[in-house]
Structure 1
Amino acid sequence: MSDKLRLALPLVLPRDADACGACVSSLITVLAGRPGVLDAHVDHEAPGQGVLCIHYDDTQIALGQLRAFVLQAGGTISDRFGHFTFSLASTLTVANARRLAADLCALPGVVTAEVAATGRGFVEFDREQTNETALRAAIRSAGGKLQSDQTTTGAGVSSSKVHGRDHDGHAHGAGHKHASGGAKSEKPGAHDGHDHGQDRPGSGQDHNHAHGGLLGEKTELIFAILSGVMLLAGWLISLKSDSWISLVFYGAAYVFGGWFTLTEAVENLRKRRFEIDTLMLVAAAGAGALGQWAEGALLLFLFSIGHALEHYAMGRARRAIEALAELAPERALVRREGRVEDVPVEALAIDDIVLVRPNERIPADGVVVSGESSVNQAPVTGESIPVDKRASQETGLDFAKAGAEHRVFAGTINGAGALDVRVARKAGETTLARVVRMVAEAEAQRSPTQRFTDRFEKVFVPLVLVFVGLLMLAFLVIDEPFSVSFYRAMAVLVAASPCALAISVPSAVLSGVARAGRGGVLVKGGGPLENLGTLTALAFDKTGTLTEGRPKLTDVVPAEDVEDHELLAVAVAVEALSDHPLAAAIVRDGEARLEGRPRLEATDIKSLTGQGIQARVGGLATVIGKPKFFESGEGQRPPEAVWADAQRLEASGRTVVMVRQGERYLGVLGLMDTARPAARAVILRLRALGIKHMVMLSGDNQSVSDAIARDLGLDEARGGLMPEDKVETIKALRQKFGKAAMVGDGVNDAPAMANATVGVAMGAAGSDVALETADVALMADDLNHLPFAVGLSRRTSAIIRQNLWVSLGVVAFLIPATIFGMKIGEAVIFHEGSTLLVVVNALRLLAFRERGAQPAQLAVAKTMRAP
């Protein structure tokens, strides 16, 4: 016989692991394999941080046994495995990032490791075999310099899907086999659990370049420029004479251009790796051996410039993201014991009252308890217009339940009025801090295309080496000197090195993620960014997404011989005793229409679950409910005129309730959750971006859904859906269109969002669950950010395709060209030119602006730079 067990997630997964979707996903996977367990899922609509709901067969497993098993499994997941997110003091080349990830994966106890070229890294490890201290030591021994050695353990570096899929396609099961690409490790017996250790950037940290030296972080760039100067000087001297002086300058060009490349090559060879930098050194040495010193110097000069530009591109993306972390002030004014103290924001405690002066940045997430002002929320939510804030009259109002007019976020900018704010979250757990952590982890996630290019390089480079080796032996087959065969082989080696391919995808993805964050959109990695840019089907939740989420009383239709005010007075009296959203709308709008007329009192309230409400008004039994209730319930059937009015309103998309007092029908009321003002324009903009099929999913009746869908210009509406029906709809859309996104509020839409290719959450700045469950989070409760996110993803996908065509096309052109006589110098110019082109192309994303966006929306990026 089926029964159900419900347990709070913080109880099942202690040590804050309940905040991580991967932990929850793994626990559900473990439970699914237990005999007697029929189903396990997370109820995000439950109060608090969610509830684990387990359906089981009590003939196969007893309740006590199941509870003990769940708590034991949760404790193992939470205790044994850890997550370590770190930040290096500088950017890396893509190749070096990949090498560092591989070095970390080779360590005992490391389940998986990923490192981005921006210097962000993510490691999942087994605490029984290693720890964070050992990981830090390994990073340093590999040549990495950590930006900070302070670790914070707390809620959520990041999480994502709560139904078996985290961002970027990770599939977390009991055996913890990762679907991510790049450097990875699958250790036998590994289980998926972790704490959330984190190496976070602090203010005033060192930013020396990984290739820094005596000249600081610009050493590599300066060396590259000096190499070019030496090359130019040598070439100019050689034009007048073939003296040894030109060779001295060419030799100096070799030294400056090859210094960092040689350093990396030696390190690679020490670890028995043969990478692109080694290929370049071999080709340069070969050119020198043949007396082609100018061509060898040109190769090293352009290769070193390419490296410097690669670091510049990664640095730009990294700085754009780090700018988020710098938005929050370092100190705050707090009221304590009748005086105002200046304290570090880290010292703020929950329920402290902080004073925010005019034009200052707000130091913490909290609720306004005194004062009025307008707050520029663009740094966090991307909203272009300041939002009015005022004190709440409710004492101790919970931050999560507070309205937008009472809630403020750390890092936003206060306007002309002073505010007193009650702190709701500590400095490390503000919305801004969590977004920074999530973006940092997203940097390390490889996109599907990047995983493809990584696999391609692993196959392509060995093939190139074999081919070059054969070309060096060409003199044995054709009548030519060895020097000619060797030169040709070196030219092909330069031509076939996939430098542009290596940087083409990560530079675009990181620029896209950075630009999205600056515009109030959190994208959790390259996977969602690419997928959102290629899908053609989109599903919307209705309530709170396409509509206001606040029903309005739109129609008052009294029966024959009944006045409007009589119908409204009775309805308001009864609904005033109910807490249903429709009841609140009837009371609010009904009282406004009564315009000071006498109020009636209702007593003996009784809820008719799912059908309506019953009470006594004026001594008569009064019922307000759905038309179907009166058709099949007790008492006489409604008069034909009243019934016709109800059907007419339902056909026009209204939610209809009938009012009966005693045996007399007073009439019907029509309510409607009106569409957001921006919804129709947003739908048109999405169509212009290439979204071909858009459907609305709703729990309302079909006629209401159809009416709103027609008004907004959607292709389809599906009404009367339960959460599981929405999941099936998403699966059907994915089957038909290949990919489909789900846009919702991240709470009751979590199952559908988890099953979509990309889950998009609205208003994530005010919702913990929305931040945790979505692949893409629109921080503001504003639909206008959706076309921006889709447009940016479309542009990112286009730039990735362009970069791939350029990088692969140049290689495809140069290989045959060098075989048939193109010189090394010419090949180098094409080769490094393609690298420069893909980097510049990717950096264009940092200046992305959606076509047709309103001028006010375009001002958001400027606001991010406000002091």
Structure 2
Amino acid sequence: MQKNQNLLSCQIIHRLRGRIRIKSKALKFISQSLKVEIEKQLLQVKYIKTAEITLITGTILIYFEDISLSDQNLISLLQNTLNAHIIEICSNEKKFSNSKYVIERKLQEESPREIIQKIVATGSLLAYNIFKSKNSIALTGLRKFFNYNTLSTIGLAMPVIKNGFMSLVKNKRPNADTLSSTAIISSILLGKEGTALTIMMLEEIAELLTVYTMKKTRGAIKDMLSVGENFVWKEISEDNVIRVPIEEIQKNDIIVVQTGEKISVDGKILKGEALIDQSSITGEYMPVKKAIGENVFAGTIIKNGNISILAEKVGDDRTVSRIIKLVEDANSNKADIQNYADTFSAQLIPLNFILAGIVYTATKNIPKAMSMLVIDYSCGIRLSTAVAFSAAINTAAKNGVLVKGSNFIEELAKAETVIFDKTGTITEGKPKVQSIEVFSDISENEMIALAAAAEEQSSHPLAIAIMNEIKDRGLEIPKHGKLKTIVSRGVETKVGKGKTASLIRVGSKKFMLENDINLNLSYDTERGVISRGEIGIYVSKDSELIGIIGVSDPPRENIKKAINRLRNHGVDDIVLLTGDLRQQAETIASRMSLDRYESELLPEDKAKNILKFQSTGSNVIMIGDGVNDAPALSYANVGVALGSTRTDIAMEAADITITQDDPLLVPGVIGLSKKTVKTIKENFAMVIGLNTFALVLGATGILPPIYASVLHNSTTIFVVGNSLKLLKYDLNSK
């Protein structure tokens, strides 16, 4: 969905006591039924007397009783009401935007093989024409048109002719194919099939390069979005399981998944139970136990166990097809520069016909007039953007970065403010033991082993950090009794037997104080733990404090280097927004040299902060985990999900998904976006310069139509070739 902050922006037209008229772009894109619904919702507000929307002007007139209401109160009320229908409003706006552009053939519907076949057929017929022109007598009358050569030329040109005609009928305006088909038909009428075939073949070569780029992009995205195994075990009966390709699995089939395998469907567990790594959905690195009746998702991995799953979503209902279509949907996700190119090129097409008419009127020379039709800006300008963005999306996909549309590439290039979430984005999201302080006469290893005895059966991330430390040190956990968990405080257990057994408590400072544990020895250590942004885990033995374990979530590898590279790309405001405590946020912000931070935020608070930045004119990029930060990702100009988030939920939340745990890809894709915009500007200059030169030569008669076509189509090939350089762009370059 396109960003809605501009769509929902409001302007007060006039205001009197108890009356206000507000203008909003969104009001122009609501249906009659939605108009009635919105008016009805507003009338339910106790202080509103009447509300009347005018669709043509995109305004609403509101009469209200409470004269103490501020303008912002009324605007916020309207925006909140419209926001509830934003999907329908955005959809209507897209339909309107689509109607402004000419109908062009969808090149992605043709394969490179089909276009190569057309080039071979056109080239063969062109070679025949060259040979025939030297060894034949000119045909006259109807035989001039009804012969194998002419009919074959018309047959090969039919897709172009048909699309050019349909644009005139449906859109009431010409497109690039209208110009080409006019030049082709004119050449045929003049008996110059060779000229027509030359025009066609050069255009087909340009199309081949474009389609090749699009095909590579689709392939790269498919490879990246693979969310399961190529083959799965399908249950035929209680005692019969067969291995089949994933494509053959239908809804309501039963598949069997075992330890170490990736789940390939969304569904419900019918039999068994398993420990499943769902980090691709929830961002939690700890595996979750799933049993009969619970839902599982494609892309998650079974760490331990065997289950039978009733398939509920398979094939195209999952991620791949929907996302590929979204990437290719040029009208839904076009960049501003691409919309400008399409609009500009569409406006220039009638100019060619006008120039052709002027040249013919002045010279009465049909070949000179035809040169005006053969040379057009439209094709080159359109491909200047389309191929460049397609190549950029392809390069990103090959590096594990999914970009949903070309508009987000342009937005990245304009980035001024980058906002990071903390947990799982700047940090790994996996707490680790960073410091250990012992207050007794036991060793460090003995103290942490006693702590592990109490935490052994806990699934809390801090407990996992202690258990991982035990594994890293190769220590043995002492035998212990049953564990007792005190919610939001800690855990306790007895270590040893009989009268020599000791009561071990592990938990928060409050847990210790509630059990009368003396903390006098820990004050200096506590201050050190806090200053480092660590979480202090207190460990006691009977009534004595024996140690403090400092645990923190360490920064991702290369995150500092990534932030430095962002600054090199012109990002001058890097902000941390997190739900963590102030001290932890301050520590990370200081270590990463961030410009500022906000802590202890709820998801909606992050979204409000982003709107605040945007209100000052900043172009905001939000980098989060793609799920927990969904509101913030949605409100940002570009939402980037960093990490292994390959599921439907993450794809919906973010505009760009980086499937690798490599923060250097963030500045990498921003660098790619800047290179893409620079390439497009180079293409514009090339197309306008060379085609203007060709038009002048064609109008003066210096350049015959066939050479005008060669020059024009060579320009198109040049810009496509220039755009294809983006396929070689290195995202790891500084």
The alignment's TM-score, normalised by the length of structure 2, stands at 0.68
Contact 1:547 / 1:673 at 8 angstroms: preserved in 2?
yes
Of 673-682 and 833-842, more deviation after overlay is shown by 673-682
Instruction: Confirm whether residue 34 of structure 1 aligns to residue 41 of structure 2.
Output: yes
Name the amino acid aligned to 1:759: G
Instruction: Confirm whether residue 302 of structure 1 aligns to residue 199 of structure 2.
Output: yes
Give the Cα–Cα distance (whole angstroms) in 1 for the partners of residues 480 and 298 of structure 2: 30
Of 685-694 and 715-724, more deviation after overlay is shown by 685-694
Residue 340 of structure 2 aligns with which residue? 452
CA deviation digits over 1:816-835, x for unaligned, max 9? 44445542344322211111
Instruction: Confirm whether residue 835 of structure 1 aligns to residue 713 of structure 2.
Output: no
Q: Secondary structure at the match of 1:653?
A: coil
Q: Secondary structure at the match of 1:743?
A: strand
Change (3 A) 1:184 1:163: farther
Give the Cα–Cα distance (whole angstroms) in 2 for the partners of residues 787 and 163 of structure 1: 37
Change (3 A) 1:842 1:628: farther
Q: Secondary structure at the match of 1:274?
A: coil
The alignment's TM-score, normalised by the length of structure 1, stands at 0.59
Give the Cα–Cα distance (whole angstroms) in 2 for the partners of residues 276 and 567 of structure 1: 77
**1:654 CA displacement:** 1.8
Q: Secondary structure at the match of 2:430?
A: coil
Residue 98 of structure 2 aligns with which residue? 183
Residue 436 of structure 1 aligns with which residue? 321
Contact 2:416 / 2:620 at 8 angstroms: preserved in 1?
yes
CA deviation digits over 1:154-187, x for unaligned, max 9? xxxxxxxx99999xxx9524695314775249xx
Residue 769 of structure 1 aligns with which residue? 649
Of 399-408 and 544-553, more deviation after overlay is shown by 399-408
Give the Cα–Cα distance (whole angstroms) in 2 for the partners of residues 269 and 525 of structure 1: 28
**1:505 CA displacement:** 2.0
Instruction: Confirm whether residue 799 of structure 1 aligns to residue 687 of structure 2.
Output: no
Change (3 A) 1:462 1:783: same
Work out which of the residue numbers 584, 603, 610 in structure 2 matches 1:704. 584
CA deviation digits over 1:249-284, x for unaligned, max 9? 9x9887655533444445556656533333345446
Contact 2:338 / 2:386 at 8 angstroms: preserved in 1?
yes
Give the Cα–Cα distance (whole angstroms) in 2 for the partners of residues 178 and 748 of structure 1: 29
**1:753 CA displacement:** 0.4
Instruction: Confirm whether residue 605 of structure 1 aligns to residue 486 of structure 2.
Output: yes
Change (3 A) 1:439 1:466: same
Q: Secondary structure at the match of 1:341?
A: strand
Residue 648 of structure 1 aligns with which residue? 528
Instruction: Confirm whether residue 744 of structure 1 aligns to residue 624 of structure 2.
Output: yes
**1:672 CA displacement:** 0.8
Residue 409 of structure 2 aligns with which residue? 529
Give the Cα–Cα distance (whole angstroms) in 2 for the partners of residues 519 and 367 of structure 1: 33
Change (3 A) 1:596 1:506: closer
Q: Structure 2: 5+ residue runs without aligned partners?
A: 1-32, 49-79, 101-107, 273-279, 281-286, 495-500
CA deviation digits over 1:759-792, x for unaligned, max 9? 1123455544212211112234454554554454
Change (3 A) 1:659 1:364: closer
Contact 2:613 / 2:620 at 8 angstroms: preserved in 1?
yes
Q: Secondary structure at the match of 1:671?
A: strand
Give the Cα–Cα distance (whole angstroms) in 2 for the partners of residues 589 and 211 of structure 1: 55
Residue 178 of structure 2 aligns with which residue? 278
Contact 1:352 / 1:422 at 8 angstroms: preserved in 2?
yes
Work out which of the residue numbers 313, 329, 337 in structure 1 matches 2:210. 313
Of 256-265 and 542-551, more deviation after overlay is shown by 256-265
**1:588 CA displacement:** 5.3
The within-5 A match list for 1:76-475 is 172-173=87-88, 177-179=92-94, 182-184=97-99, 220-230=118-128, 232-233=130-131, 237=134, 244=138, 259-260=157-158, 261-267=160-166, 273-283=173-183, 297-298=194-195, 300-311=197-208, 313-314=210-211, 316-318=213-215, 320-321=217-218, 332-335=232-235, 336-341=237-242, 343=244, 345=246, 346-347=248-249, 352-354=254-256, 406=302, 422-423=308-309, 425=311, 428-429=314-315, 433-446=318-331, 447=334, 448-474=336-362
**1:751 CA displacement:** 1.0
Name the amino acid aligned to 2:722: N
Q: Structure 1: 5+ residue runs without aligned partners?
A: 1-25, 38-56, 62-161, 186-206, 371-380, 382-390, 409-418, 475-480, 854-867
The within-5 A match list for 1:600-749 is 603=484, 605-607=486-488, 612-613=489-490, 624-625=507-508, 639=520, 642-657=522-537, 668-684=548-564, 686=566, 691-712=571-592, 714-734=594-614, 738-749=618-629
Change (3 A) 1:505 1:614: same
Contact 2:263 / 2:299 at 8 angstroms: preserved in 1?
no
Change (3 A) 1:356 1:833: farther
Change (3 A) 1:696 1:256: farther
Give the Cα–Cα distance (whole angstroms) in 2 for the partners of residues 553 and 274 of structure 1: 68
Contact 2:174 / 2:350 at 8 angstroms: preserved in 1?
no
Residue 381 of structure 2 aligns with which residue? 501
**1:644 CA displacement:** 3.1
Aligned residues: 630
Change (3 A) 1:171 1:818: farther
Give the Cα–Cα distance (whole angstroms) in 1 for the partners of residues 649 and 139 of structure 2: 69
Name the amino acid aligned to 2:327: A
Q: CA RMSD in A?
A: 5.5
CA deviation digits over 1:739-773, x for unaligned, max 9? 22212112221111011111112345554421221
Give the Cα–Cα distance (whole angstroms) in 1 for the partners of residues 298 and 325 of structure 2: 29
Contact 1:627 / 1:656 at 8 angstroms: preserved in 2?
no
Contact 1:604 / 1:616 at 8 angstroms: preserved in 2?
no
Give the Cα–Cα distance (whole angstroms) in 1 for the partners of residues 81 and 626 of structure 2: 13
Change (3 A) 1:739 1:567: same
